[in-house]
Amino acid sequence: MTWIITKYLLTAGMVVFISEVAKRSDRLGGFIAALPLMTLLTLVWLFVENQPEEKIANHAYYTFWYVIPTLPMFLLFPYLLPRIGFWFTMGASVIVTIICYGLFALLMKNFSVELL
């Protein structure tokens, strides 16, 4: 139980740290958020918990493919925010990202990369 609490605290601490940095510097906050810190932390958790190397490698592999369809959201969000407000922008970003995931998964199937 202590291990799970430690994992939660460290992982949540990263989110809090990034949001605090972003309050002070848009650029630095964005840079830190763009780093694969959560993925690296997840890979560490998997390793420390003695998960098979194949599972750890698969996590890194699929993370790469799942990042690509999220990229349009990062362009859409700043465009929509001043036009329709925060919550509608969040909703539109989620919908567009889901659509991009689906389309990207269909496209990648043609290259024998199974994402869904």
| Structure confidence by residue, pLDDT tens digits, 14-46 | 889 999 999 999 999 889 888 888 899 899 999
* Statement: residue 62 has pLDDT above 90: yes
pLDDT of the residue at 37 = 87
Q: Write down the mean pLDDT value for the chain.
A: 94
Q: What's the pTM value of the predicted model, to 2 decimals?
A: 0.77
pLDDT of the residue at 116 = 85
Q: Which long-range contacts (CB under 8 A, 24 or more apart) does 32-41 make?
A: 36/63, 38/11, 38/14, 39/63, 41/10, 41/11, 41/14
Which of the four pLDDT bands, split at 50, 70 and 90, describes residue 103? very high
Percentage of the chain with pLDDT > 70? Answer: 100
pLDDT of the residue at 110 = 96
